Amino acid sequence: MTANSKYGIEFNGLRSDSLGLTVINPKEIGFPSKNKIIQDLPFSNTILDLSEMYGGQSYGERKLKFTFLIIESDRFDKDALYTQWTKTVNWLMGANHKVKLKDDVMSDYYYLGEVQEAPSWDEYVRHGKVTVEFICYPFRIHELAEGNDIWDTFNFELDIAQITEYTVVGSRTVTLYNVGQNQANPQIVATAPFEITTNGQKYTIPAGTIESPDFVLNQGETTMTIKGNGKISFNWHKELI
């Protein structure tokens, strides 16, 4: 990647180029590791993998590293250069928990990240470089909810067109598709009480908006029978590594 003033990131409510920063090499995108729970069986060569005991494979945090070029081109003095890196470091360190981090590459997705370790500063005569590492949630989250009908950003290799809002009169069987890498815990909006049966489990859905930790969409297809009268929708955002 070459220096490009139009390329940048968005973090903690600000874009890097709004601070006069240019993203340069090196840039490192780290990937999460699986959290494996392995149990050796006594008197056996078999290893028991319990990692998906609670429904899905969990992952550790991931790391992203960016280097920003800082050039003070108005006054060309050290005070002005130091003012620039002061604004930059306070922007980066200002979030005390994971917040939205967007890379201009595949900008339909965002990370959740926080700077926890001290950034580094390399100083030259009239410019300098700040290198920073973000500790991030394992998955990238799509900006648009599943079931959206925006075709301009549709990715035929990663996305799926599906209906997530239904009108139910008595009973209706529907299928939802979670094409993400993580389990989805959808927000359910219902105009009336419903009963949902899926995978042998029954869920009572009251009228209104709910998000139950017990109702999850595993990877792939989830077919369910919905009983009731009214409209019901399932709202979630795909998560990919």
Residues 6 or more apart whose CB falls under 8 angstroms from that of 234 comprise 146, 147, 164, 165, 176, 186, 187, 188, 217
Distance CA 232, CA 188 (A): 7
Q: Residue 192's CB: how many other CB atoms inside 10 A? A: 14
Distance CA 203, CA 190 (A): 13
**What pLDDT score does 105 carry?**
94
Burial class (CB in 10 A: 0-12, 13-18, 19+), 206: exposed
Output the six-digit token pair for 87: 């604004």
Instruction: Find, among 107, 116, 110, 109, the residue nearest to 135 by Cα.
Output: 116
Run means of pLDDT, 10 residues per run, the chain, 241 residues: 68 94 93 87 75 78 97 79 94 97 96 97 91 98 95 92 97 98 96 96 96 92 98 98 97
Q: Residue 47's CB: how many other CB atoms inside 10 A? A: 10
Q: For residue 130, list its beta bridge partners.
A: 68, 121
Q: Quick check: helix, strand or coil at residue 78?
A: helix
Distance in angstroms between the alpha carbons of the first and the last residue of the chain: 21
Count each helix (H run) and each strand (E run) in the chain, helices first: 1, 18
Q: ∠ at Cα 108 (35, 148), nearest 5°?
A: 100
What percentage of the chain carries pLDDT values higher than 70?
95
Residue whose token pair is 């008595």: 170
**What pLDDT score does 1 carry?**
44
**What pLDDT score does 37 carry?**
80
**What pLDDT score does 125 carry?**
82
